[in-house]
Amino acid sequence: MTHHMLFQEEPENFKPNAEVVGCYCEHDGRILMVHRNDSAGTEDAWGLPAGHVERGEVLEEALCRELFEELGWRVSAEQCAYIGKVFVRRDEDWIFHIYRLTLDTEPTVTLNEENKHYAWVTPQEALGMKLVPHGADCIRMYYPEEM
C-alpha cells in the first residue's frame, strides 16, 4: 500500500513531476463524481473529473480538455473558478489544482473509457463513497460548511 500525504502548504524538498487539474462541477447543491475504471490507476474509486496537465498546456486549457474528454462538455476557462491547490506526496510529488464550475442546468454527461459511472451527490454523500486517495480530504477542505 502506497502512503499518501496531502499538504495545503508546499512541504520541504517538494519536487513535483506532474500537475493535475480537477473540477467540482456543481448543480443544485450537488457535485459530479465519476467512478474510475480499474485501469485508470485509481483503485476503482470515485473522484472529480480530473487529469494531468500536458507539457506546454496552461492549467485552464488542461481543465477544459479534461472536461471535454471525460464528460463531453465544452466549457470555457472563464466559466471555471480556480479555488486552490494541494500538494500531494505519493510515490512521486505532484500538485493538484482544483476548480469549481457552477451549472444552472444539469448537463448531459457522456463518459469516456476512463470512467464507468457518474453520480450527482451532495458533498456529504460523496464522503460515503469509495473515493480516490485524498478525495475526502479535499471535499472537507472545500466544503467545510457541509460537514
Give the tens place of pLDDT for each residue, 54-88.
Answer: 999 999 999 999 999 999 999 999 999 999 999 99
Long-range residue pairs from 100-106, CB within 8 A, at least 24 positions apart, any chain:
100/23, 100/24, 100/26, 100/142, 101/23, 101/24, 101/25, 101/26, 101/67, 101/75, 102/26, 102/27, 103/25, 103/26, 103/27, 104/27, 105/27, 106/27, 106/28
Is this prediction's pTM over 0.85? Answer: yes
pLDDT reported for residue 138: 92
Superfamily of domain 5-146: Nucleoside Triphosphate Pyrophosphohydrolase (3.90.79.10)
The residue that leads in pLDDT, 83 or 37, is 83
Give the count of beta carbons closer than 10 Å to the beta carbon of residue 123: 21
pLDDT reported for residue 144: 81
pLDDT reported for residue 7: 93
Nearest Cα neighbor of 72 from 102, 38, 126, 114 is 114
pLDDT reported for residue 1: 44
